[in-house]
Structure 1
Amino acid sequence: MATNARGGRIEIGGGDQDGVFTPVELLLAAVGGCNIVTVEPLTAKRGHRLLRLAMTVESEKIEPNKLGPVTMTYDVEIPSEEADQVYRAVAQRVEEKHCTVSRSLREGTEVRLELP
């Protein structure tokens, strides 16, 4: 079980239990969630509300303990051509510069282990 300071809880398991996320599923959800929750408000701030915004995030293991490239695919309904241009520019900029999770994966973040 993972909890945060605001009282949020997520059950984590090894993939053999119903209703729980595996650590890899959480990683993929984090990269997608980070991008999508940033794209929507920035697009709206530029005067364009998206009619539908969802995302699929996928990766395959290339080694038993390592993921290959992560692919994010937006599922979006856009009200106009102008909104489409704004959305595309925002989504690209968010993935490259604003999403902490994407940047950390792409650039590599050191993981440290501290044992008591």
Structure 2
Amino acid sequence: MSENTRALREVTVERTESRQYRATSLASGASIEFGQGEGLLSPVELLLAAIAGCSSIDVDVATTRKSEPEKFEVSASGYKLTEDGASRMEDIHLGFDLKFPDTEEGRKAAGMVERIVKLSHDKYCTVSRTVELGAKVTSEVKN
């Protein structure tokens, strides 16, 4: 029998100046700056980074048990679509560009990549699974 768990994750977003914001994890205190303007990731780019980052961690944790990569880059892309004035992303694609040493351990790590990428997509990556399955989003205005 499978066990279901539910754990709250929470961030706050604070305006730091015009069109610039800081998201902070309430659990760890880690933060990231984002917004509109030069040198800042946009919210859509943060979404792509979250999807790529989630799967990157899954692949990294599994493969580095065998070998450290010589190259580890993951790209995320997608199309922003506006229909009847409403925007959304579609056709999101991840590209994994990894290289491991030409050693027995490196070849073992390289041989795991496709399977781990698939497992991340199908089971482990909370971010891409949430995007694909959908999640209810509610808003409230506090006074």
Structure 1 residue 70, shift from structure 2 partner: 0.7
Instruction: State the partner residue of 2:137.
Output: 111
SS at match of 1:109: coil
Asked if the contact 2:64/2:109 (under 8 Å) is kept, the reply is no
Structure 1 residue 48, shift from structure 2 partner: 4.0
SS at match of 2:97: strand
Instruction: State the partner residue of 1:73.
Output: 95
Length-normalised TM-score, structure 1: 0.85
Instruction: State the partner residue of 1:101.
Output: 127
Q: 1:85 aligns with which of 106, 111, 115?
A: 111
d(CA) in 2 for partners of 1:67, 1:93: 23
d(CA) in 2 for partners of 1:68, 1:38: 23
d(CA) in 2 for partners of 1:71, 1:88: 15
The 5 A counterparts of 1:30-49 are 30-45=50-65, 47-49=66-68
The unaligned stretches of length 5 or more in structure 1 are none
The 5 A counterparts of 1:22-61 are 22-45=42-65, 47-61=66-80
Alpha-carbon RMSD across the aligned residues, in angstroms, is 1.7
Residue 9 (structure 1) aligned with residue 35 (structure 2): no
Larger RCO of the pair (alpha carbons < 8 Å, separation 6+): 1
Structure 1 residue 50, shift from structure 2 partner: 2.9
d(CA) in 1 for partners of 2:49, 2:40: 13
Q: Identify, as 1 or 2, the structure richer in helix.
A: 1
Structure 1 residue 69, shift from structure 2 partner: 1.5
Aligned length: 113
The unaligned stretches of length 5 or more in structure 2 are 1-21
Q: Identify, as 1 or 2, the structure richer in strand.
A: 2
State the percentage of identical aligned residues: 28
